[in-house]
Amino acid sequence: MQLNEGFTQQSGIQQGSRAAAAILDKGRGTGESLAEVTHDARNLVAALGLYCDLLETPGVLAVPYTHYGDELRLVATASRRLVQRLAGLQGGVQDAAPRTATAAGPRLVGSGSQVRHTAAKCWEMIPAASIQNMAVQLLATRNLLATLAGSAIQLTMDVQGAELPVHMTGEDLTRVLINLVKNSTEAMPRGGHIRLSLREIPSRPGKARWLTLTVEDNGPGIPDFALDKLFEPGFSTRGKECEPSGLHAQQRGLGLSITRSIIRAAGGRIHAANRDPSGACFQIGLPVKGR
């Protein structure tokens, strides 16, 4: 991959993100139904899936860069599941073909049969399969999380054992890690270090087995007043002068609440604390799934 090709792909992804945000903002002001917003969101995610297929074609990416396709696939799969949930909120998934082109990818146009075939291929329902090997699943997200953190942040992973199944899907693990890494990155605008570690907790015979996933950084840490409120919906440690406006203002403070909900649904727990001498630490406990 040449440097300018990398910028072109990055620009396409950024355009897709802006288009998705524009769709959501449009829905707020025009009285669009959830079904209409879901329809257009599906268009964008379908295009993202098509790009993943293109990137996986032999010869499209040079060998050192093939991991980009795998990481983009993680994002596409997690996004598809979220859109499926949106469709469920409005009474089920509609299987109509995308009606228009999107800024995120190729135009899905052609004969009626071609479009229906493409739409059906992109929107087969994803089975909610739980993680069978937590260690492998975590390591698969390393490059994606490092890219999200940016070049000023050093992101490392330390995995010892833990090649065990849990009651969480890979898509939900990706959502949890993106939320936590994004928070750490925002707390360290001048750079720093984020460390993820995964361990199996020793257990006595007959007792449930647990895994511990820790996400910690060397940033300024969490204000003491916030430790007990951190996972409440809408709570944010940012001052009002730093708050965005519009749609993003309404979304502020939801990431950790969503993270806790996902972890609890998997039978787990999450705890936040400060590190000594500085930094934040989020410790996640997940029960091992019985074989």
143 confidence band (pLDDT: 50, 70, 90): confident
Report yes or no: 261 and 251 within 8 Å, Cβ to Cβ.
no
**Tens-place pLDDT, residues 39-51:** 677 767 777 777 7
What is the b/e burial string over 131-153, where b = at least 16 CB atoms within 10 angstroms of the residue's CB?
Answer: beebbebbebbbebbbebbeeeb
Neighbouring CB atoms inside 10 A of 108's CB total 20
Q: What is the pLDDT of residue 64?
A: 82
Q: Give 254 or 98, the one with higher predicted confidence.
A: 254
Angle between helices 34-55 and 3-30 (to 10 degrees): 170
Q: What distance lies between CA 65 and its chain's CA centroid? A: 21
Find the mean pLDDT for residues 29-36: 61
Contacts (Cβ under 8 Å, ≥6 apart) of 21:
247
| Mean of pLDDT values over 154-162 | 95
Least confident of 145-149, 162-166, 208-212, 246-250: 246-250
Say whether pLDDT at 59 is over 70.
yes
| DSSP-assigned beta bridge partners for residue 192 | 153
pLDDT greater at residue 99 or residue 22: 22
pLDDT bracket for residue 2 (50, 70, 90): very low
- Greater confidence (28 vs 202) lies with 202
Place of tokens 């992109």: 122
Structure tokens at 267: 């039978």
What pLDDT is stored for residue 126 in this prediction? 58
Phi, psi of 61 (to 5 degrees): -110, 140
Helix (H) or strand (E) holding 156: strand 153-159
pLDDT of residue 164: 96
Distance separating alpha carbons of residues 20 and 32, to the nearest angstrom: 15
Q: Residue 192 class from Cβ within 10 Å (0-12 exposed, 13-18 middle, 19+ buried)?
A: buried
Which region, left, alpha or beta, applies to residue 69 given φ > 0 means left and ψ of -120 to 50 means alpha? Answer: alpha
Q: Compute the average pLDDT of residues 1-23.
A: 47
Q: What is the pTM of this model?
A: 0.65
Domains and CATH numbers, the chain: 3-122 (no CATH), 134-287 (3.30.565.10)
Name the H helices within the chain.
Answer: 3-30, 34-55, 67-89, 112-122, 134-139, 142-149, 170-187, 247-251, 255-265
Percent of the chain residues past pLDDT 70, beyond the cut: 66
Cross-strand partners of 282:
215, 272
Q: Rg of the chain's alpha carbons, rounded to an integer? A: 20
Mean pLDDT for 62-79 is 81
